[in-house]
Amino acid sequence: PSLTADALATVALPVRLMVGDRDTTVTLEETAAAYRALPRGELAVLPRTPHPLEQADVVRLAGALADFLRHADAPDATR
């Protein structure tokens, strides 16, 4: 409940939200709404991925994290 759109709008750091396309705990719509509220937000949807992190494809997850970390300090030109 404390993660309202207003609260997320105050986060100045780059943030990449990731959700699995088979997640039944957090919906893609909920995650996309949070992403849209973040000034420097990014959204990644992991294919064939349920909610528990231990069930995610480790190579795909590591690649998404590495990509984010490589570009996190770059100025945001996409939004």
pLDDT of the chain along its 79 residues, tens only?
Answer: 678 999 999 999 999 999 999 999 989 999 999 999 999 999 999 998 888 777 788 898 899 999 999 988 776 545 4
Q: Which of 24-28's residues contact partners 24+ apart within 8 Å by CB, and which partners? A: 24/50, 24/51, 25/51, 26/51
The neighbour count for residue 72, using CB atoms within 10 Å, is: 13
Q: How far apart are CA 62 and CA 26, in angstroms?
A: 21
- pLDDT recorded at residue 75: 66
Which of 8, 4, 3 is closest to 41 using CA atoms? 8
pTM of the model as a whole: 0.79
Which of 32, 34, 35, 43 is closest to 3 using CA atoms? 34
- pLDDT recorded at residue 79: 45
